[in-house]
Structure 1
Amino acid sequence: MARPKEQSVRRGEIVAAAQRAIVARGLAGLRIKDVAQEAGLSPGAVSYYYRDFEDLLADVHQDAVDRFYWQRLRAIEAITEPAGQLVALVRGGVANGPDDETCLVLYELHVHAARNRTHAVLMTALYDREVSLYRQVLRALPLDPGTADTVAANAVALEDGYGLHIAGRNPHVPPKQARERILAYLTAATGADLKG
Structure 2
Amino acid sequence: MARPKNQNARREQLVKSAKQAIVERGLNGLRAIDVAAYSELGAGSVAYYYPDLGDLVRDVHEDAVSRFYWNRRQQGAESEDPRARLGRIIRSGIPQSREDIDFQVLNELHTHAYRDTFHALLMAELYRLEVSLYVDVLSDGVEAGEFTMALPVETAASNLVAMEDAYGLHLMGGTPLDGEDIYRMIAANAGIMTGCRLGDG
TM range, smaller chain: over 0.9
Matched residue SS, 2:30: coil
CA contact (8 A) 2:90 2:186 kept: yes
Paired with 1:130 and 1:136, the residues of 2 have a C-alpha distance of 10
* Shift in Å, 1:179: 1.0
CA contact (8 A) 2:188 2:197 kept: no
CA contact (8 A) 2:26 2:108 kept: yes
- Taking only aligned residues, the RMSD between alpha carbons, in angstroms, comes to 1.4
* Shift in Å, 1:42: 1.5
1:147 partnered with 2:152: yes
Matched residue SS, 2:189: helix
1:90 partnered with 2:90: yes
User: Which residue in 1 is equivalent to 2:62?
Assistant: 62
Task: Give CA deviations for 1:115-158 in whole Å, capped at 9, x if unaligned.
Answer: 111101110111000000000000012357x7110010000010
User: Which residue in 1 is equivalent to 2:198?
Assistant: 194
User: Which residue in 2 is equivalent to 1:182?
Assistant: 186
Paired with 1:83 and 1:192, the residues of 2 have a C-alpha distance of 8
Q: TM-score by structure 1 length?
A: 0.95
Alignment of 1:158-177 (within 5 A): 158-171=163-176, 173-177=177-181
The range that moved more, 10-19 or 134-143, is 134-143
Q: TM-score by structure 2 length?
A: 0.93
Unmatched segments (≥5 aa) in structure 1: none
Alignment of 1:118-129 (within 5 A): 118-129=118-129
Unmatched segments (≥5 aa) in structure 2: 143-147
Paired with 1:70 and 1:14, the residues of 2 have a C-alpha distance of 21
Paired with 2:96 and 2:64, the residues of 1 have a C-alpha distance of 15
Task: Give CA deviations for 1:64-90 in whole Å, capped at 9, x if unaligned.
Answer: 000000011111111101100111011
Alignment of 1:76-87 (within 5 A): 76-87=76-87
Sequence identity of aligned pairs in percent? 44
Task: Give CA deviations for 1:20-39 in whole Å, capped at 9, x if unaligned.
Answer: 11222222332211101111
Paired with 1:8 and 1:123, the residues of 2 have a C-alpha distance of 25
- What amino acid does structure 2 have at the position aligned with 1:52? D
CA contact (8 A) 1:62 1:122 kept: yes
Matched residue SS, 2:79: coil
The range that moved more, 11-20 or 135-144, is 135-144
Paired with 2:38 and 2:163, the residues of 1 have a C-alpha distance of 33
CA contact (8 A) 1:18 1:60 kept: yes
Paired with 1:166 and 1:21, the residues of 2 have a C-alpha distance of 21
Query: Once superposed, which parts of structure 1, at least 4 consecutive aligned residues long, lie more than 4 Å away?
Result: none
User: Which residue in 1 is equivalent to 2:145?
Assistant: none
Matched residue SS, 1:94: coil
Paired with 2:99 and 2:129, the residues of 1 have a C-alpha distance of 24
- What amino acid does structure 2 have at the position aligned with 1:180? R
